[in-house]
Amino acid sequence: MTASPTTTAAAVPTAPSDVPAPPGRPRTRTAYRWEIRKLTAQVRTRATLAVCLVAPFLFVVLLNQQSQVPKDTLFGRWVHASGFATPLLVLGFAAQWVFPLLTSIVAGDIFASEDQYGTWKTILTRSHSRNQVFWAKTLAAATFATAVVTVLAASTIAAGVLLVGHQPLEGLSGTLIPSGRAAGLVVAAWATALIPLLGFTALAVMLSVVTRNSPAGIAGPVVIGLVMQLYAFLNGVDAVRHLLLVTPFDAWHGLLRDHPYYGPLWQGALVSGGYLAVCLAIAHTVLRRRDITGG
**Restricting to residues 71-90, which ones interact with another protein according to CB under 8 A?**
71, 74-75, 77, 81
- The residue range among 144-152, 166-174, 194-202, 222-230 that interacts with another protein, by the rule CB under 8 A, is 166-174
User: Is residue 181 a contact point for another protein (CB under 8 A)?
Assistant: no
User: Is residue 271 a contact point for another protein (CB under 8 A)?
Assistant: yes
155 or 256: CB nearest another protein:
256
* CA distance linking residue 12 with residue 26, whole number of Å: 25
User: Is residue 2 a contact point for another protein (CB under 8 A)?
Assistant: yes
CB 210 within 8 A of CB 295: no
Cβ neighbour number for residue 290 with a 10 Å cutoff: 14
- The residue range among 95-103, 139-147, 202-210, 232-240 that interacts with another protein, by the rule CB under 8 A, is 232-240
38 or 166: CB nearest another protein:
38
User: Is residue 27 a contact point for another protein (CB under 8 A)?
Assistant: yes
65 or 238: CB nearest another protein:
238
User: Is residue 5 a contact point for another protein (CB under 8 A)?
Assistant: yes
User: Is residue 109 a contact point for another protein (CB under 8 A)?
Assistant: no
User: Is residue 30 a contact point for another protein (CB under 8 A)?
Assistant: yes
Task: Using CB under 8 A, pick the residue from 56, 87, 217, 264 that binds another protein.
Answer: 264
User: Is residue 257 a contact point for another protein (CB under 8 A)?
Assistant: yes
Task: Using CB under 8 A, pick the residue from 182, 206, 232, 283 that binds another protein.
Answer: 232
- The residue range among 122-130, 180-188, 204-212, 221-229 that interacts with another protein, by the rule CB under 8 A, is 122-130
* CA distance linking residue 22 with residue 100, whole number of Å: 40
- The residue range among 58-66, 103-111, 171-179, 217-225 that interacts with another protein, by the rule CB under 8 A, is 171-179
In the complex, the smallest distance separating the C-beta of residue 154 from another protein, rounded to whole angstroms, is: 25
- The residue range among 102-110, 138-146, 167-175, 194-202 that interacts with another protein, by the rule CB under 8 A, is 167-175
Cβ neighbour number for residue 257 with a 10 Å cutoff: 15
57 or 254: CB nearest another protein:
254
User: Is residue 168 a contact point for another protein (CB under 8 A)?
Assistant: no
DSSP the chain: -TTHHHHTGGGSPPPPSSPPPPSSPPPHHHHHHHHHHHHHTSHHHHHHHHHHHHHHHHHHHHHHH-SS--TTSTTGGGTTT-TTHHHHHHHHHHHHHTHHHHHHHHHTTTTHHHHHHT-HHHHTTSSS-HHHHHHHHHHHHHHHHHHHHHHHHHHHHHHHHHHT----EE-TTSSEEPHHHHHHHHHHHHHHHHHHHHHHHHHHHHHHHHH--HHHHHHHHHHHHHHHHHHHHTT--HHHHHTSTTGGGGGGGGGGSSS---HHHHHHHHHHHHHHHHHHHHHHHHHHH------
User: Is residue 250 a contact point for another protein (CB under 8 A)?
Assistant: yes
**Restricting to residues 128-147, which ones interact with another protein according to CB under 8 A?**
128-129
